[in-house]
A and B are shown apart, each in its own frame.
Chain A
Amino acid sequence: DAGVTQSPTHLIKTRGQQVTLRCSPKSGHDTVSWYQQALGQGPQFIFQYYEEEERQRGNFPDRFSGHQFPNYSSELNVNALLLGDSALYLCASSFPRGGTDTQYFGPGTRLTVL
């Protein structure tokens, strides 16, 4: 049973560019959440997708957007990249209707903005 997978592993962009990160949830999971983890910090919630809609959003600007596909996979898009967007971007999947609170994290995508 594959866990949460993310691609790419690493990414280097320059200021002003746009980036798309991808996530495939754990088998059977239908809810995907995205987190940003700055160096030396705990993950911070960006937003969550369920049934192909953004259900909840953290304190992140509109430059951060996302999408969920019918197969439950998800994308995170960041426009007009800033140096401060450099971080590890984590995807977490869950299945709340299954009665569990557990969120399973992927290995993350390391984004470096130069």
Chain B
Amino acid sequence: QQQVKQSPQSLIVQKGGISIINCAYENTAFDYFPWYQQFPGKGPALLIAIRPDVSEKKEGRFTISFNKSAKQFSLHIMDSQPGDSATYFCAASLHSGNTPLVFGKGTRLSVIA
């Protein structure tokens, strides 16, 4: 049973465009939702994270939008750059940092010039 569903599987965006990746979760007890960026041959690196008490969080060109009633959250990458080309994973976990992260299957983003 997949608890976090991520879409699309792959995404191609023009340089300067907006990249949007969506995730849906099932467990209403989840209360921490991070996004990780992974380059080939590297481990995932935390990009941005949100808790359900806010509907949006922005850090630079990266924004998380959160819809608690729909049990959905999304990552928006504004002004996408070729250097953003990577695989992005959404994840969710229960309260506190010592609970396991449940990951989506990932989205491979390619930003083309």
- Are A50 and B98 in contact, with the CB atoms below 8 A? yes
Stretch from B14-22, B37-45, B61-69, B73-81 forming part of the interface with A: B37-45
Residues 7-56 of B contacting A (Cβ, < 8 Å)? 32, 34, 36, 41-46, 49
Across-interface contacts of B42 in A (CB, < 8 A): 107-108
Of the stretches A12-20, A68-76, A89-97, the one at the interface is A89-97
Q: Which residues of B contact A (CB under 8 A)?
A: 6, 32, 34, 36, 41-46, 49, 89, 91, 93, 96-106
What would 28 A/B residue contacts be, using CB atoms closer than 8 Å?
A: A4-B43, A31-B97, A31-B98, A35-B101, A40-B105, A42-B89, A43-B89, A43-B103, A44-B103, A45-B100, A45-B102, A48-B98, A55-B98, A56-B98, A58-B100, A90-B44, A94-B97, A96-B97, A100-B97, A101-B32, A101-B96, A102-B34, A102-B46, A102-B97, A104-B46, A105-B43, A107-B42, A108-B43
